[in-house]
Amino acid sequence: MPSEPLVVAATAAEAAHVPPGLPVLVTGIGKVQATLLTALALAERRPSVVLNIGTAGALAGATGLRLPSVVVNHDFSAAELRALGYDAVDQIEIAGGDGTVLASGDTFVNDAAVRDGLAARAALVDMEGFAVAAVAGHFGVPVRLVKHVSDQADESAMDWPQVVDASARLLGEWLRENV
């Protein structure tokens, strides 16, 4: 019997409109929480796919729903660690994406200078995508990242509590249509 998907979201607000019957894991915000709880869930069960849903900030004017093809760990010193001889991974390719690059990090991006620096590497920014993708890869479970642009990674990011429900509705709609 095939297993079912596992929907992973950072917050209950982002998962508020997941269709009934789909298993949901709410990890909490940031890479550490996402890594810990996703790893525990995957150790207990083998979903057919991990669907990481959530909001993202646009770094270069992106809008709407995005399915990243690449996720980078933007606040990790991979180049320096590789220079010291360590195998440091800071980029993961995601099958079935739309070409979008997502940068994940534990820094809440709402500053124009930080946003502009990240825009050289990615179109979107979030705080959990890389961690969820890394854990899924470790367990050999396919992953899909589904992100909705909620802000422009500037001062508008502080309005997230007022706009998250609209993003959650669109994420729920995507799940209804695609799962």
pLDDT for the residue 2: 56
Flag whether pLDDT at 1 surpasses 80: no
What percent of the chain shows pLDDT beyond 70?
99
Flag whether pLDDT at 3 surpasses 90: no
Name 142's Cβ contacts closer than 8 Å, sequence gap at least 6.
48, 49, 50, 95, 136
Rounded to two decimals, what is the model's pTM? Answer: 0.96
What percent of the chain shows pLDDT beyond 90?
91
65/108 Cα distance (integer angstroms): 20
Over residues 124-133, the mean pLDDT reads 98
Domain 6-171 CATH (choose: 1.10.3720.10, 3.40.50.1580, 3.40.50.1000, 3.40.50.9100): 3.40.50.1580
Burial pattern 18-33, b for ≥16 Cβ within 10 A else e, equals: beeebebbebeebbeb
pLDDT for the residue 60: 84
- Extents of the domains making up the chain: 6-171
pLDDT tens digits, 17-71 = 999 999 999 999 999 999 999 999 999 999 999 999 999 999 988 999 999 999 9
How high is the mean pLDDT of the chain?
95
- How close are the terminal C-alpha atoms of the chain, in Å? 17
Q: Judge whether 58 and 117 are in contact, CB under 8 Å.
A: no
